[in-house]
Amino acid sequence: MTKEQEAISSAPSETVATPAESAVTPSCTCTSSDTEIPDEAQTPTLLEARSTPRVGHHPVDRLSIHKAATINYNQPVFKELAANLAIQRREILWKAQTLLSREKQKTLGVRRRRGVLDGRAVAVAKQLHKDKLLNDREFNELFPDWHWASSGESLYVLVECNQEAAQLLYDAGLDDVDDVDELGYSPLSLLEIPNKATSAHGRYQTESPPDALATYLSMCEWFKAKGASLNRVSGLTHATPLHHIAGRIGRYLGGSMEERCKSFGSRGPATISRRFANDCADIIKPLSSSILRDIWKDMEHHDLYACPCALGGCLAFNVLINETIKRHRSPTVVSLMAVVLVKKLIDASVPAETRAQQDVRAPIVLRACTFACLGLAHSCRSSSLHRFRRMSGEERRRASDATMDGLVAEFEAKYLELKLPLWDFFTEWWLGRMYELLG
Ligand SMILES: [Zn+2]
């Protein structure tokens, strides 16, 4: 039996009073006055004075929660754990709203807040402990790893792509799935595609890479359906969760393609392209998610990286296409991957895209493919050498490369003149021009 299972099995099954009920509990004489904060001797403790399961007597740290949601996942056990965690955090909120001054409540963001605290619970508990409203034993039992910077992250970060575990947290009352950490990152913006190292056991499993990507996309959709923002800007570079997701999908597609290219050996790019065209159905198969539509349609949220691969910063679509093609320089391979990807995105569009709407994205694809074939180094998030460059807030100018800018301008003009579908333009014009240029 694991530590957390012991903790849960020994916890009484009685239910906790709601904060509203607790406010009139005779054992608590506290008020929400700004000045009348009771001293420690008069203050009922969470673990001793109130009718709650004694979860605090069995410290459960974040690593244990993470394991319980992933490699040791067991649905009934995690359900109990989620219920107890929700009780802990509801109690912390109740105590803060009852005992801390209004000013402190406002600073901590708990004033008039309802429900359950998630990532913010540890900061609130630290304040309660500092004000001697939580004693040392209570504080360390409730948050045994309070000294780690990650203790302020949402519990949803710990469940990774285990959607069932996330739903159990949600059903237990932890219904803010978009709780951000101190740097502004939400659980969705930290979500990774699962791998066998963390999901090989229990019921939370992924059998193959496409299965892992499908699990990831499904989890992204779950967060979105529960109210998580895809476009919340965070950090110095104004990255959004959608940029992050696009990067993970692109990395998966590019990695899958790289594996296939290796297996094709020394065959020429034309052979590789034909083989890829035959195999791409497998690679692209999991991409039937509405998240793809969101990436394709967002023309608004540019990040602040300065890189010649994108005009005025990268959209999530820039990130997706860059990450997919950045390992390749063959015009045949690069254009085929881009065309297949774009076709998939257009097919996923509802309602169907008009030619005019597609033409807005065509320059992005032409620029990304030209950049990849010229072998230029990224200075955006697709950089592999950490040579990031951030645009200054006022200038908002992009980094430029004269050769590429001239070429892209030529391609854009020709694309508008010929009025061919993008994939026909690549094969009938772009490919010939790129090979001519590259010798
Ligand atoms: Zn770039």
Q: Which of 142, 156, 64, 157 is nearest to 96 (CA)?
A: 142
Alpha carbon of 77 to ligand 1 centroid (Å): 45
Alpha carbon of 309 to ligand 1 centroid (Å): 4
DSSP summary character for residue 399: P
CA gap 52, 28 in Å, rounded: 14
pLDDT score at 400:
64
Residue type (1 letter), 164: E
With a cut of 80, say whether residue 25 has pLDDT above it.
Answer: no
The mean pLDDT value for 183-203 works out to: 78
Alpha carbon of 307 to ligand 1 centroid (Å): 5
Alpha carbon of 378 to ligand 1 centroid (Å): 4
Alpha carbon of 185 to ligand 1 centroid (Å): 22
Q: Which of 330, 405, 412 is nearest to 365 (CA)?
A: 412
Alpha carbon of 30 to ligand 1 centroid (Å): 57
Report domain extents, the chain: 3-199, 230-438
Alpha carbon of 165 to ligand 1 centroid (Å): 36
Confidence of residue 430 (pLDDT cuts 50, 70, 90): very high
Alpha carbon of 366 to ligand 1 centroid (Å): 14
SS3 category, 28: coil
Alpha carbon of 388 to ligand 1 centroid (Å): 9
**Is residue 246 a contact partner of residue 323, using CB atoms and an 8 Å limit?**
yes
pLDDT one-digit tens code per residue, 377-403:
888 888 876 666 665 544 444 556 777
pLDDT one-digit tens code per residue, 305-359:
888 888 888 999 999 999 999 888 888 888 888 888 888 777 766 667 777 877 8
Alpha carbon of 405 to ligand 1 centroid (Å): 14
pLDDT score at 200:
52
Alpha carbon of 410 to ligand 1 centroid (Å): 20
172-181, 253-262, 289-298, 312-321: segment of lowest average pLDDT: 253-262
Alpha carbon of 377 to ligand 1 centroid (Å): 7
Alpha carbon of 351 to ligand 1 centroid (Å): 30
Confidence of residue 148 (pLDDT cuts 50, 70, 90): confident
Alpha carbon of 50 to ligand 1 centroid (Å): 56
Alpha carbon of 308 to ligand 1 centroid (Å): 6
Paired residues of 234 in beta bridges: 239
Q: Which of 367, 346, 348, 344 is nearest to 357 (CA)?
A: 346
Alpha carbon of 381 to ligand 1 centroid (Å): 7
The mean pLDDT value for 41-59 works out to: 45
Alpha carbon of 331 to ligand 1 centroid (Å): 18
Alpha carbon of 380 to ligand 1 centroid (Å): 4
Alpha carbon of 317 to ligand 1 centroid (Å): 12
What's the count of helices (H) and strands (E) in the chain, helices before strands? 21, 0
pLDDT score at 201:
56
Q: Phi then psi for 239, rounded to 5 degrees?
A: -75, 150
Alpha carbon of 149 to ligand 1 centroid (Å): 31
pLDDT score at 58:
66
CA gap 350, 196 in Å, rounded: 34
Alpha carbon of 305 to ligand 1 centroid (Å): 8
Alpha carbon of 369 to ligand 1 centroid (Å): 11
Alpha carbon of 44 to ligand 1 centroid (Å): 57
Confidence of residue 283 (pLDDT cuts 50, 70, 90): low
Alpha carbon of 390 to ligand 1 centroid (Å): 11
